[in-house]
Amino acid sequence: MAITIKGTGSSLPKKVLTNFDLEKMVDTSDAWIRERTGMSERHIAENETVASLATEAAKKALADAGKDAADVDMIIVATCTGEVMVPSTACKVQAEIGADNAVAFDINSACSGFLFALQTAGAYIASGMHKNALVIGAEVLSSIINWEDRSTCVLFGDGAGAVFVENCEEEGRGILSMAQGSSGSKGGVLYFRKREADPDKEDEYEGKDAFVHMNGAEVYKFAVRQVPECIEKALADAGVKAADVDLFVLHQANIRIIEAISKRLGAGMEHFPVNIDKTGNTSSASIPLLLDELNRSGRIKAGDTVVLSGFGGGLTYGACVMKW
Ligand code: COA
Protein backbone atom coordinates (compact mmCIF):
# COMPACT_ATOMS: atom_id res chain seq x y z
CA MET A 1 0.00 0.00 0.00
CA ALA A 2 1.52 3.34 -1.05
CA ILE A 3 1.01 6.70 0.58
CA THR A 4 0.32 9.94 -1.16
CA ILE A 5 0.65 13.60 -0.17
CA LYS A 6 -2.79 15.19 -0.03
CA GLY A 7 -1.94 18.60 1.37
CA THR A 8 0.99 20.86 2.22
CA GLY A 9 1.56 23.82 4.53
CA SER A 10 4.40 25.92 5.86
CA SER A 11 5.29 28.70 8.27
CA LEU A 12 8.20 31.11 8.47
CA PRO A 13 9.05 33.53 11.29
CA LYS A 14 8.34 37.21 10.52
CA LYS A 15 11.87 38.48 11.08
CA VAL A 16 14.21 38.34 8.07
CA LEU A 17 17.98 38.40 8.61
CA THR A 18 19.86 39.38 5.45
CA ASN A 19 23.50 38.82 4.53
CA PHE A 20 23.94 42.58 5.03
CA ASP A 21 22.65 42.25 8.60
CA LEU A 22 25.21 39.47 9.16
CA GLU A 23 27.97 41.75 7.84
CA LYS A 24 27.32 43.90 10.91
CA MET A 25 27.52 40.93 13.28
CA VAL A 26 30.58 38.94 12.10
CA ASP A 27 33.49 39.35 9.68
CA THR A 28 31.70 38.22 6.53
CA SER A 29 30.28 39.63 3.30
CA ASP A 30 27.15 39.28 1.22
CA ALA A 31 29.32 38.21 -1.73
CA TRP A 32 31.09 35.42 0.24
CA ILE A 33 27.83 33.99 1.56
CA ARG A 34 26.02 34.11 -1.79
CA GLU A 35 28.95 32.63 -3.71
CA ARG A 36 29.64 29.76 -1.28
CA THR A 37 26.07 28.91 -0.26
CA GLY A 38 23.48 30.56 -2.54
CA MET A 39 21.86 32.24 0.48
CA SER A 40 20.76 35.91 0.64
CA GLU A 41 18.47 35.90 3.65
CA ARG A 42 16.89 33.63 6.22
CA HIS A 43 14.00 33.90 8.72
CA ILE A 44 14.77 34.05 12.43
CA ALA A 45 12.26 33.31 15.21
CA GLU A 46 11.63 36.08 17.74
CA ASN A 47 8.15 35.41 19.08
CA GLU A 48 7.70 32.08 17.26
CA THR A 49 8.67 28.68 18.66
CA VAL A 50 9.27 25.28 17.04
CA ALA A 51 5.82 24.22 18.27
CA SER A 52 4.03 27.38 17.04
CA LEU A 53 5.67 27.16 13.60
CA ALA A 54 4.87 23.43 13.38
CA THR A 55 1.26 24.08 14.43
CA GLU A 56 0.71 26.76 11.79
CA ALA A 57 2.23 24.58 9.06
CA ALA A 58 0.08 21.62 10.20
CA LYS A 59 -3.14 23.67 10.13
CA LYS A 60 -2.39 24.83 6.58
CA ALA A 61 -1.58 21.27 5.40
CA LEU A 62 -4.87 20.03 6.87
CA ALA A 63 -6.80 22.86 5.20
CA ASP A 64 -5.07 22.13 1.87
CA ALA A 65 -6.03 18.44 2.20
CA GLY A 66 -9.60 19.35 3.21
CA LYS A 67 -9.29 17.40 6.47
CA ASP A 68 -10.30 18.08 10.08
CA ALA A 69 -7.91 17.64 13.00
CA ALA A 70 -10.19 14.88 14.31
CA ASP A 71 -9.43 12.84 11.15
CA VAL A 72 -5.68 12.66 11.90
CA ASP A 73 -4.35 9.21 12.94
CA MET A 74 -0.71 10.12 13.52
CA ILE A 75 1.44 13.24 13.96
CA ILE A 76 5.19 12.91 13.44
CA VAL A 77 7.39 15.97 13.92
CA ALA A 78 11.00 15.90 12.75
CA THR A 79 13.03 18.36 14.79
CA CYS A 80 16.31 18.65 16.64
CA THR A 81 15.55 22.02 18.25
CA GLY A 82 12.33 21.50 20.24
CA GLU A 83 11.91 23.93 23.18
CA VAL A 84 11.82 21.08 25.70
CA MET A 85 12.80 17.42 25.46
CA VAL A 86 9.46 16.27 26.90
CA PRO A 87 6.69 16.59 25.89
CA SER A 88 7.49 16.09 22.23
CA THR A 89 6.75 18.88 19.77
CA ALA A 90 4.30 16.49 18.07
CA CYS A 91 2.28 16.22 21.32
CA LYS A 92 2.21 20.03 21.54
CA VAL A 93 0.92 20.24 17.96
CA GLN A 94 -1.70 17.60 18.75
CA ALA A 95 -2.95 19.68 21.68
CA GLU A 96 -2.90 22.95 19.71
CA ILE A 97 -4.89 21.63 16.75
CA GLY A 98 -7.13 19.33 18.79
CA ALA A 99 -6.19 16.12 16.98
CA ASP A 100 -7.50 14.03 19.87
CA ASN A 101 -7.57 10.75 17.92
CA ALA A 102 -3.92 10.89 16.84
CA VAL A 103 -0.77 9.29 18.22
CA ALA A 104 2.04 11.86 18.28
CA PHE A 105 5.82 11.58 18.50
CA ASP A 106 9.04 13.25 17.35
CA ILE A 107 11.95 12.04 15.26
CA ASN A 108 15.42 13.54 15.54
CA SER A 109 17.44 12.89 12.46
CA ALA A 110 18.77 16.38 11.76
CA CYS A 111 18.45 17.43 8.11
CA SER A 112 17.21 13.96 7.08
CA GLY A 113 14.46 14.23 9.69
CA PHE A 114 11.55 15.04 7.40
CA LEU A 115 12.48 12.25 4.98
CA PHE A 116 12.79 9.74 7.83
CA ALA A 117 9.48 10.91 9.33
CA LEU A 118 7.76 10.54 5.95
CA GLN A 119 9.25 7.07 5.52
CA THR A 120 8.11 6.13 9.03
CA ALA A 121 4.58 7.29 8.22
CA GLY A 122 4.79 5.28 4.98
CA ALA A 123 5.79 2.12 6.84
CA TYR A 124 3.00 2.54 9.44
CA ILE A 125 0.41 3.14 6.75
CA ALA A 126 1.67 0.24 4.62
CA SER A 127 1.35 -2.03 7.68
CA GLY A 128 -2.31 -1.06 8.00
CA MET A 129 -1.85 0.22 11.55
CA HIS A 130 -2.81 3.79 10.62
CA LYS A 131 -4.49 5.31 7.57
CA ASN A 132 -3.00 8.80 7.51
CA ALA A 133 -0.45 11.13 9.10
CA LEU A 134 0.58 14.72 9.49
CA VAL A 135 4.33 14.76 8.85
CA ILE A 136 6.07 17.96 9.91
CA GLY A 137 9.62 19.30 9.81
CA ALA A 138 10.18 22.24 12.17
CA GLU A 139 13.29 23.99 13.47
CA VAL A 140 14.40 27.07 15.37
CA LEU A 141 18.10 26.62 14.66
CA SER A 142 18.74 30.22 15.68
CA SER A 143 18.36 29.02 19.31
CA ILE A 144 21.53 26.90 19.09
CA ILE A 145 23.63 29.03 16.75
CA ASN A 146 26.82 30.64 18.00
CA TRP A 147 26.32 34.13 16.56
CA GLU A 148 30.07 34.82 16.86
CA ASP A 149 31.10 31.90 14.64
CA ARG A 150 31.01 33.17 11.05
CA SER A 151 31.66 29.71 9.61
CA THR A 152 28.26 28.43 10.80
CA CYS A 153 26.00 31.35 11.81
CA VAL A 154 25.49 32.48 8.19
CA LEU A 155 24.19 29.07 7.08
CA PHE A 156 21.01 28.41 9.03
CA GLY A 157 17.44 29.68 9.31
CA ASP A 158 14.17 28.86 11.09
CA GLY A 159 10.83 27.57 9.77
CA ALA A 160 8.42 24.68 9.45
CA GLY A 161 6.74 22.69 6.70
CA ALA A 162 4.07 20.00 6.87
CA VAL A 163 2.35 17.45 4.66
CA PHE A 164 -0.81 15.44 5.19
CA VAL A 165 -0.38 11.91 3.80
CA GLU A 166 -2.79 9.04 3.49
CA ASN A 167 -2.99 5.57 2.00
CA CYS A 168 -3.39 5.39 -1.73
CA GLU A 169 -5.03 2.47 -3.51
CA GLU A 170 -4.23 3.69 -7.02
CA GLU A 171 -1.45 1.61 -8.65
CA GLY A 172 1.65 3.63 -9.66
CA ARG A 173 0.63 6.66 -7.55
CA GLY A 174 2.12 8.10 -4.35
CA ILE A 175 5.48 6.99 -2.92
CA LEU A 176 6.96 4.32 -5.19
CA SER A 177 10.23 3.61 -3.34
CA MET A 178 12.21 4.65 -0.28
CA ALA A 179 15.92 4.37 0.54
CA GLN A 180 17.77 5.51 3.66
CA GLY A 181 21.03 5.09 5.51
CA SER A 182 23.16 6.30 8.42
CA SER A 183 26.90 6.58 9.08
CA GLY A 184 27.05 6.97 12.87
CA SER A 185 30.84 6.70 12.90
CA LYS A 186 30.95 10.12 11.17
CA GLY A 187 28.77 11.82 13.81
CA GLY A 188 31.55 14.22 14.85
CA VAL A 189 31.50 15.90 11.42
CA LEU A 190 28.28 17.78 12.20
CA TYR A 191 26.70 18.09 15.60
CA PHE A 192 24.36 20.43 17.46
CA ARG A 193 24.71 20.95 21.16
CA LYS A 194 22.32 23.00 23.27
CA ARG A 195 23.52 26.26 24.77
CA GLU A 196 22.50 25.11 28.23
CA ALA A 197 24.53 21.85 28.00
CA ASP A 198 26.55 21.32 31.19
CA PRO A 199 30.05 22.61 30.39
CA ASP A 200 31.57 20.48 33.20
CA LYS A 201 30.16 17.25 31.89
CA GLU A 202 32.73 14.99 30.22
CA ASP A 203 31.70 13.60 26.88
CA GLU A 204 33.25 12.70 23.57
CA TYR A 205 32.99 16.30 22.37
CA GLU A 206 34.64 17.77 25.47
CA GLY A 207 36.89 20.71 24.64
CA LYS A 208 35.29 21.37 21.27
CA ASP A 209 33.15 24.44 20.64
CA ALA A 210 29.55 24.33 21.70
CA PHE A 211 26.38 24.94 19.68
CA VAL A 212 26.62 24.04 15.99
CA HIS A 213 29.89 22.32 15.13
CA MET A 214 30.60 21.50 11.53
CA ASN A 215 33.47 20.32 9.38
CA GLY A 216 32.06 21.95 6.23
CA ALA A 217 34.43 20.27 3.78
CA GLU A 218 33.66 16.77 5.15
CA VAL A 219 29.90 17.41 5.09
CA TYR A 220 30.22 18.63 1.50
CA LYS A 221 32.16 15.51 0.41
CA PHE A 222 29.68 13.22 2.15
CA ALA A 223 26.68 14.94 0.54
CA VAL A 224 27.92 14.97 -3.04
CA ARG A 225 28.91 11.26 -2.92
CA GLN A 226 26.28 9.64 -0.69
CA VAL A 227 23.15 11.52 -1.79
CA PRO A 228 23.35 10.69 -5.54
CA GLU A 229 24.02 7.03 -4.63
CA CYS A 230 20.97 6.97 -2.37
CA ILE A 231 18.80 8.67 -5.01
CA GLU A 232 20.02 6.21 -7.66
CA LYS A 233 19.07 3.29 -5.41
CA ALA A 234 15.57 4.70 -4.86
CA LEU A 235 15.20 5.34 -8.61
CA ALA A 236 16.30 1.78 -9.46
CA ASP A 237 13.85 0.33 -6.91
CA ALA A 238 11.04 2.39 -8.46
CA GLY A 239 12.11 1.50 -12.02
CA VAL A 240 12.45 5.19 -12.88
CA LYS A 241 15.34 6.86 -14.78
CA ALA A 242 16.85 10.13 -13.53
CA ALA A 243 16.05 11.61 -16.96
CA ASP A 244 12.32 10.96 -16.37
CA VAL A 245 12.16 12.82 -13.06
CA ASP A 246 10.30 16.15 -13.24
CA LEU A 247 11.49 17.57 -9.91
CA PHE A 248 14.24 16.72 -7.43
CA VAL A 249 13.23 18.36 -4.14
CA LEU A 250 16.44 18.22 -2.11
CA HIS A 251 17.34 19.37 1.37
CA GLN A 252 18.34 23.02 0.95
CA ALA A 253 21.80 22.96 2.56
CA ASN A 254 23.90 24.70 -0.03
CA ILE A 255 23.43 25.59 -3.71
CA ARG A 256 26.83 24.13 -4.58
CA ILE A 257 25.86 20.75 -3.10
CA ILE A 258 22.63 20.79 -5.14
CA GLU A 259 24.54 21.71 -8.32
CA ALA A 260 27.06 18.90 -7.73
CA ILE A 261 24.25 16.37 -7.19
CA SER A 262 22.50 17.57 -10.35
CA LYS A 263 25.72 17.02 -12.31
CA ARG A 264 26.31 13.53 -10.84
CA LEU A 265 22.77 12.45 -11.69
CA GLY A 266 23.01 13.94 -15.20
CA ALA A 267 19.81 15.95 -14.67
CA GLY A 268 19.76 19.69 -15.39
CA MET A 269 19.35 22.33 -12.67
CA GLU A 270 15.93 23.22 -14.14
CA HIS A 271 14.72 20.03 -12.40
CA PHE A 272 16.13 21.13 -9.02
CA PRO A 273 13.92 23.87 -7.55
CA VAL A 274 15.58 25.95 -4.82
CA ASN A 275 14.44 28.44 -2.19
CA ILE A 276 17.70 28.47 -0.23
CA ASP A 277 18.30 32.13 -1.17
CA LYS A 278 15.30 33.16 0.98
CA THR A 279 15.35 30.55 3.75
CA GLY A 280 18.93 29.39 4.41
CA ASN A 281 19.35 25.85 5.71
CA THR A 282 16.30 25.06 7.85
CA SER A 283 17.36 21.43 8.49
CA SER A 284 14.32 19.14 8.75
CA ALA A 285 11.97 21.94 7.62
CA SER A 286 13.61 22.59 4.27
CA ILE A 287 12.00 19.86 2.13
CA PRO A 288 8.37 20.41 3.24
CA LEU A 289 8.87 24.20 3.05
CA LEU A 290 9.96 23.89 -0.57
CA LEU A 291 7.27 21.31 -1.36
CA ASP A 292 4.60 23.71 -0.07
CA GLU A 293 5.99 26.52 -2.21
CA LEU A 294 5.96 24.28 -5.31
CA ASN A 295 2.47 22.98 -4.55
CA ARG A 296 0.97 26.43 -3.96
CA SER A 297 2.61 28.00 -7.01
CA GLY A 298 1.41 25.14 -9.24
CA ARG A 299 4.97 24.25 -10.27
CA ILE A 300 4.38 20.69 -9.07
CA LYS A 301 1.49 19.03 -10.88
CA ALA A 302 -0.57 15.86 -10.58
CA GLY A 303 1.24 13.05 -12.36
CA ASP A 304 4.73 14.55 -11.91
CA THR A 305 7.54 12.19 -10.94
CA VAL A 306 9.21 13.72 -7.89
CA VAL A 307 12.30 12.70 -5.91
CA LEU A 308 12.70 13.91 -2.31
CA SER A 309 16.09 13.61 -0.64
CA GLY A 310 17.40 14.69 2.75
CA PHE A 311 20.89 14.42 4.25
CA GLY A 312 22.83 15.76 7.19
CA GLY A 313 23.84 15.20 10.82
CA GLY A 314 24.22 11.66 12.08
CA LEU A 315 25.41 11.36 9.41
CA THR A 316 22.12 10.35 7.78
CA TYR A 317 20.61 10.34 4.30
CA GLY A 318 17.42 9.25 2.61
CA ALA A 319 15.47 9.51 -0.63
CA CYS A 320 12.08 8.57 -2.00
CA VAL A 321 10.54 8.53 -5.45
CA MET A 322 6.91 9.49 -5.84
CA LYS A 323 4.22 10.13 -8.40
CA TRP A 324 2.47 13.36 -7.32
N1 COA B 1 32.50 34.81 5.70
C2 COA B 1 33.72 35.03 5.21
N3 COA B 1 34.72 34.13 5.27
C4 COA B 1 34.43 32.95 5.83
C5 COA B 1 33.17 32.66 6.37
C6 COA B 1 32.19 33.64 6.29
N7 COA B 1 30.94 33.48 6.77
N8 COA B 1 33.20 31.41 6.88
C9 COA B 1 34.42 30.92 6.66
N10 COA B 1 35.19 31.85 6.03
C11 COA B 1 36.57 31.77 5.61
C12 COA B 1 37.33 30.67 6.28
O13 COA B 1 37.81 31.09 7.54
C14 COA B 1 38.46 30.43 5.30
O15 COA B 1 39.44 31.41 5.50
P16 COA B 1 41.00 31.02 5.44
O17 COA B 1 41.20 30.49 4.06
O18 COA B 1 41.64 32.32 5.70
O19 COA B 1 41.16 29.99 6.50
C20 COA B 1 37.81 30.70 3.94
O21 COA B 1 36.61 31.44 4.22
C22 COA B 1 37.46 29.46 3.17
O23 COA B 1 36.81 28.57 4.05
P24 COA B 1 36.37 27.16 3.59
O25 COA B 1 35.75 26.45 4.75
O26 COA B 1 37.46 26.47 2.83
O27 COA B 1 35.22 27.57 2.57
P28 COA B 1 34.44 26.63 1.61
O29 COA B 1 34.59 27.11 0.23
O30 COA B 1 34.70 25.18 1.88
O31 COA B 1 32.95 26.91 2.06
C32 COA B 1 31.16 26.00 3.38
C33 COA B 1 32.52 26.65 3.39
C34 COA B 1 30.69 25.79 4.81
C35 COA B 1 30.18 26.92 2.67
C36 COA B 1 31.27 24.65 2.63
O37 COA B 1 32.28 23.84 3.21
C38 COA B 1 30.00 23.88 2.61
O39 COA B 1 29.08 24.22 1.94
N40 COA B 1 29.92 22.76 3.36
C41 COA B 1 28.71 22.03 3.55
C42 COA B 1 27.95 22.68 4.68
C43 COA B 1 26.55 22.19 4.80
O44 COA B 1 25.83 22.16 3.85
N45 COA B 1 26.16 21.80 6.00
C46 COA B 1 24.88 21.38 6.35
C47 COA B 1 24.62 20.03 5.81
S48 COA B 1 23.06 19.48 6.31
Q: What CATH number does the domain containing 97 carry?
A: 3.40.47.10
Identify the residue whose C-alpha is closest to ligand 1 atom 15.
151
User: Do 179 and 293 sit in the same domain of this protein?
Assistant: yes
Q: Which of 123, 139, 168 marks a domain boundary?
A: 168
- Among protein residues, the one whose CA lies closest to atom 11 of ligand 1: 151
Question: Are residues 152 and 30 part of one domain?
Answer: yes
Residues 83 and 186 in one domain: no
**Mutation to probe ligand 1, out of 151, 183, 317 (largest number of atoms < 8 A from CB):** 151
User: What angle do the packed helices 50-65 and 89-97 form, to 10 degrees?
Assistant: 50
Residues 84 and 139 in one domain: yes
230 is catalytic: no
Q: Are 129 and 82 in contact (CB under 8 A)?
A: no
Residue nearest to atom 35 of ligand 1 (CA): 36
pLDDT confidence of residue 201:
60
How many angstroms separate the Cα of 172 from the Cα of each of 74, 177, 236, 259, 319? 24, 11, 15, 29, 18
Our answer on whether the CB atom of 150 is closer than 6 Å to any ligand 1 atom is yes
Question: Residue 280: helix, strand or coil by DSSP?
Answer: coil
> Are 182 and 306 in the same domain?
yes
Q: Are 248 and 267 in contact (CB under 8 A)?
A: yes
Mean pLDDT of the chain: 93
Tens digits of per-residue pLDDT, 158-217?
999 999 999 988 888 899 999 999 999 999 899 887 655 555 665 555 554 557 888 989
Strands (E), the chain: 2-11, 15-18, 41-44, 74-78, 103-107, 132-140, 158-168, 174-182, 190-193, 211-214, 247-250, 305-312, 316-323
Shared domain for 160 and 210, answered yes or no, is: no
* Boundary (domain end) residue, out of 143, 168, 193: 168
Q: To the nearest 5 percent, what fractions of the chain are helix, strand and coil?
A: 40, 25, 35
DSSP string over 122-157: HHHHHHTS-SEEEEEEEEEGGGT--TT-HHHHTTB-
Question: How many angstroms separate the alpha carbon of residue 217 from the centre of ligand 1?
Answer: 8
- 252 contacts 309 by C-beta, under 8 angstroms: no
Contact 231, 289 (CB under 8 A): no
Question: Catalytic residue among 80, 91, 111, 153, which?
Answer: 111
Q: How far apart are CA 300 and CA 5, in angstroms?
A: 12
H or E, element range at 204? none
The reply to whether 221 and 162 lie within a common domain is no
Q: Is the pLDDT of residue 127 over 80?
A: yes
Tell me the pLDDT band of 14, cut-offs 50, 70 and 90. very high
Domain limits at 213? 174-323
Say what the pTM is: 0.94
Q: How many domains does the chain have?
A: 2
Statement to judge: residues 113 and 192 lie in one domain: no
pLDDT tens-digit readout, 92-104: 999 999 999 999 9
Q: What is the mean pLDDT of residues 241-246?
A: 96
Q: Is 168 a catalytic residue?
A: no
pLDDT above 50: residue 83: yes
Residue where one domain finishes, among candidates 168, 202, 234? 168
Q: Is the CB of 34 under 6 A from ligand 1?
A: no
Q: Is 154 in the pocket of ligand 1 (CB under 6 A)?
A: yes
Q: Which atom of ligand 1 is least distant from the CA of 254?
A: 44
Q: For the chain, how big is the Rg over CA atoms in Å?
A: 19
- Going by alpha carbons, the residue nearest to atom 29 of ligand 1 is 36
Q: How far is CA 225 from CA 86, 121, 152, 245, 323, in A?
A: 36, 27, 22, 20, 25
- Are residues 82 and 136 both part of a single domain? yes
